[in-house]
Structure 1
């Protein structure tokens, strides 16, 4: 048996292009998917897998614009309920408030994004009772620690971008607004939309290593930072050629290559974490040997004395 938590939300896009109460599917579908991901990320961040959440379209309403009704349904997994009996779960209605999708709060994620306006956050102070103070130079904004945790979630910020900024880039779509039933709207205008662009994901260098490797040529490129495609017997990857002597010999025409040639090289691998994605970059530091493909079979040939 599961405990259920439900809440409703009304979302409106407004502007001259929407006076017929219609919105193109290619604009609406990504926005709806992003709304679902926004709530899923918020739920995952604050409830850590203890609840399941779904967002469904309940119907439409007329406001002289284009609007949709959403239902947010959250279920507490019984096993998690037993295991975390002493740990409070953030319910669906509270998620809406923390995201700032209600006029009853002035310090949700929605309001924090509008206040920051893509400025650099210079300091965060931890106050009492779960309150934090966010500084942009001399200005500050007080909010909850939970709101700050959501604000720092890059996937959630990207979802906000797709819900607010992207639709408002369409000609004639000027406003995004959201509210709980019978509540007042909280809104963002076309001029405020750029504040919702997600920041670039931070790149963290994890480690780097060098080794001697034999690589088979798959494709050669003399553009895009001289990134050649190689196969090492297990996988295919791109590597930048940064050996100046080797590149000079190529430019002079002293070297010729063909698909399947083998290069013995000093290979550098750099692993970085971008958001939650692990990435690997390869660089050929030095080419030690070049072996042409189609090598003749070896035979025990004896030469005369």
Structure 2
């Protein structure tokens, strides 16, 4: 006997989609999560990528939602004579879950030595506080906040332009950059690494004050 359920919409994402991504990861934590500027998130598991709505990521990380999914799996898949459960969002193809999929819907436990990583990319205006051209040294940048931060510069074309004298840097320069932020949560706490992937636009600072 099969059990067919119609899943409604949760914050713009389907229940079937939520269960599908859990089935994809088999209940394990993804190897990598990367948030894109277009509102989607790439989830990497076992070297396979899938793209989901970023709001789906909020559901995957929401404890109450995961507890509800776990409770649903325990109840629906334990019904006698039910071989599988099919969840469908409207006219979309449904997700089929069998008893072997129950473990994939359980909440994973956080190991003491486990490190969680979330990666995102965005475009931002930055002011160069300190530039560094030696390998292993980081640049010191400011986004207008209270404190400057360090970042790894990976735009070799921009660095070469500076080294060749094609671009001059001064204390008042501002650059529009595409950056990647890698946020990590581990036993030692929360940390963040910033990488400048590309300098999109470089605006030299004013050399003298405008009086008129």
TM bucket, shorter chain: 0.3 to 0.5
Q: Provide the TM-score with structure 2 as the length reference.
A: 0.42
Q: Provide the TM-score with structure 1 as the length reference.
A: 0.30
Report which of the two structures shows the higher radius of gyration computed on alpha carbons.
1
Greater per-residue helix proportion: 1
Larger RCO (CA under 8 A, 6+ residues apart): 2
